[in-house]
Structure 1
Amino acid sequence: MNVETTEKKPRGKRGQGCIYQPKGSRNYWIKFSVNGSTIQQSAETESRREALDKLKAEILKHANGDAVAAGRVTVDDLYSVLLTDYRINQKALWWAELNWNKHLKPLFGGMQAKNVGTDTLSRYIESRRKENAANGSINRELSLLQRAFMLGYESQPRKVARPLRFHRLAESKPRQGFIEQKQYDTLAANCSDLFMRAMLALAYSFGFRKGELLSLKVSDVDLFAGTIRLRDSKNGEPRKVALTEDAKNLLAACVAGKSAEHAVFTRGKGTKPVADFRATWAALCCRAGLGQMICKGCSKPVEHGSKCENCPGRKRLKYRGLLFHDQRRSAA
């Protein structure tokens, strides 16, 4: 009797994965292991051959370190990578945290990174414009988000499949007019807050920007040498300038009793850094006659600290007048 023997086809190596069809599904799924973790995902095809090709491609991606990390990556995860990068490179961490908590988190917090696209960015832009945010502010906020996605894309393994891109909004031309000495003297005379008076002197004399001033630490001020060092300048390069006598005296009062790691500008005798001084600035400009409060209900001027007599109830007031950026006369 003739007995036919058939050779068994060699099986693939263990760990290379497999394909299967779940009950009730027409599409194939792929399954493989990476570093002890099992990954299962749809091959998005009814073809066995295409499913096998998909399996091989995914295994190769993970072998080359090009695959996206397993699990649901949220925008919060990506932004935490950005904050770590800011902390390591000693960038303006407070500014990145402020923009996330105040502007970006309400929309993007908890959202899966893969769901962020053109429609999501458009909704964010529309919501910020309803808050009367300038195009430049929106651009800088979205640039932080873009940087977070880029760091996630460059990490190993990748946290996102592709970087985030957005069309930058058109920004207005740089302001040209600065205040005169007489206007500065009026502001200084009406300024009752020490931190505001010192910030006013530095911004007017040297052209320091708001973010540069708020990030100053006591260790950046050298009263013996009469200099101040900016670590977080706009171009990313530190710079040092010699102080005027007026600025030196004001800074001496600001840093008195503080440790090297404390912020220079704080309210009263506390050590908590000043984060937002818009209300203080608006009140100062109104007292100096360089600004006014406008009722949002009827668009008529209202005395600072008062209610609008033309509108029932308490309508919100908005400030209109000199901006902090406008009062610099030169750039250090």
Structure 2
Amino acid sequence: MPGINFEKVIFDNLAEGLLHDYRINQRKSLIRAERSVGHLKRFFEGESVPKITSPRISQYIETRLVEGAKNASINRELSALKRMLNLGAQQTPPIVDRVPHIPMLKENNIRKGFFEHEEFVALRNNLPDYLRGFVTFAYKVGWRFSEITNLTWNNVDRPQGIVRLETGETKNDEARTVFLDDELKIIFDQQWQDRKKHMAFSPFVFPNRKGTGQIKDIRGAWFKACKDGAIGRKLFHDFRRTAVRNMVRSGTPERVAMMVSGHKTRAVFDRYNIVNDADLKAAAQRQQKYLEKFAGTVSGTVADFKQKKESAGDS
């Protein structure tokens, strides 16, 4: 059997192989992969695969940096490139003879955005009615945008106040169950009653403005509400971070909070359990209160210093 002429294999062949792999395996990040391939294609389209070397990849990185792309975005594109090269090398017979070293960029992508409660209220009050229950659910449980927009009444047990996503309906492919609090029970009951206003009942718990289809894009209403509520530019994903922080602050065990929000790894969860100045101030105050228990027995407490100061003033 004649061997493969590696010089005749071009980037486009590998790109299509990658997207085919995503499609047949029903990967949820297909859209992101298509976006990464689009950026890579502008640089490598028609290029012979053996010419895709480490120096050539470094040129791609430099080009994307000049274009203003963030390190995290470039790394996703490089990961797509590495994946398509590996897929080519794993074929029988292989169509890639070697996978070059692909340097990854350092990322500082720990996001710090979250909602204080008054900011959330301001946002909600300035959103259209059909989005208010939608954002309240997001604020409290921290689910991803697509997980909430895809939520149907088949996932809801209203009498028990339970919402459940089955395996395959979540990003990490793990089933998830949440119990609704009193406010969310009222919201879900209202959403159910609102279905009667429309001729065709929507299967979605939070339908679009017309009440008949799925919510697709809320950016226009979202950014207008941010502006009208004078809360600055917020992201929907800030709800995810906020829900985690609020659950932990309220005393919910971290393991349980991870089960509610759907965080699979500890490292990612830690990134969202954000500490701000108020947290640091509260920590200092808790320590002070703790140490004051030892006033008179351990030097250096607030009570000791006050006593010394008063004594010095009397002398």
TM bucket, shorter chain? 0.5 to 0.7
| TM-score of the superposed pair, with normalisation by structure 1 | 0.55
Provide the C-alpha distance between the structure 2 equivalents of 1:126 and 1:220, rounded to a whole number of angstroms.
48
What's 2:235 paired with? 323
Provide the C-alpha distance between the structure 1 equivalents of 2:109 and 2:98, rounded to a whole number of angstroms.
33
What's 1:290 paired with? 231
Provide the C-alpha distance between the structure 2 equivalents of 1:240 and 1:186, rounded to a whole number of angstroms.
30
Once the 2 structures are TM-superposed, how far is the Cα of residue 99 of structure 1 from its aligned partner?
1.4
Deviation per CA, 1:196-230, whole angstroms, max 9, x where unpaired?
A: 656634442223345x548x645696123642427
The verdict on how the C-alpha distance between 1:87 and 1:269 changes in structure 2, with shifts beyond 3 A counting, is farther
What's 1:163 paired with? 99
| Structure 1: runs of 5+ lacking an equivalent | 1-33, 40-61, 63-67, 292-320
Q: Secondary structure at the match of 2:176?
A: strand
Deviation per CA, 1:261-282, whole angstroms, max 9, x where unpaired?
A: xxx87675686883x6655543
Does structure 2 conserve the Cα–Cα contact (< 8 Å) formed by 1:76 and 1:109? yes
Provide the C-alpha distance between the structure 2 equivalents of 1:241 and 1:139, rounded to a whole number of angstroms.
33
1:245 aligned residue (185, 198, 207):
185
The verdict on how the C-alpha distance between 1:174 and 1:240 changes in structure 2, with shifts beyond 3 A counting, is same
The answer as to 2:167 corresponding to 1:200 is no
Q: Secondary structure at the match of 1:330?
A: helix
After TM superposition, list the pairs within 5 Å mapping 1:1-332 onto structure 2: 34=1, 62=3, 68=4, 72-100=8-36, 102-172=38-108, 174-176=110-112, 178-192=114-128, 194=130, 197=132, 200-210=135-145, 213=147, 217=150, 222-224=155-157, 226-229=162-165, 231=168, 236-242=172-178, 243=180, 244-245=184-185, 248=188, 257=201, 274=216, 278=219, 280-291=221-232, 321-328=233-240, 329-331=242-244, 332=261
Aligned CA-pair RMSD: 3.9
Does structure 1 conserve the Cα–Cα contact (< 8 Å) formed by 2:7 and 2:48? no
Higher strand share: 1
Asked which structure has the greater CA Rg, the reply is 1
Once the 2 structures are TM-superposed, how far is the Cα of residue 154 of structure 1 from its aligned partner?
0.9
What's 2:273 paired with? none
Once the 2 structures are TM-superposed, how far is the Cα of residue 147 of structure 1 from its aligned partner?
1.2
What's 1:305 paired with? none
Does structure 1 conserve the Cα–Cα contact (< 8 Å) formed by 2:128 and 2:221? no
| Structure 2: runs of 5+ lacking an equivalent | 245-260, 262-315
Count of residues in Structure 1 that have an aligned counterpart in Structure 2: 231
What's 1:7 paired with? none
Q: Percent identity?
A: 29
Does structure 2 conserve the Cα–Cα contact (< 8 Å) formed by 1:221 and 1:227? no
Provide the C-alpha distance between the structure 1 equivalents of 2:27 and 2:78, rounded to a whole number of angstroms.
17
Higher helix share: 2
The verdict on how the C-alpha distance between 1:184 and 1:153 changes in structure 2, with shifts beyond 3 A counting, is same
Once the 2 structures are TM-superposed, how far is the Cα of residue 89 of structure 1 from its aligned partner?
2.6
Once the 2 structures are TM-superposed, how far is the Cα of residue 168 of structure 1 from its aligned partner?
1.6
Q: Secondary structure at the match of 1:324?
A: coil
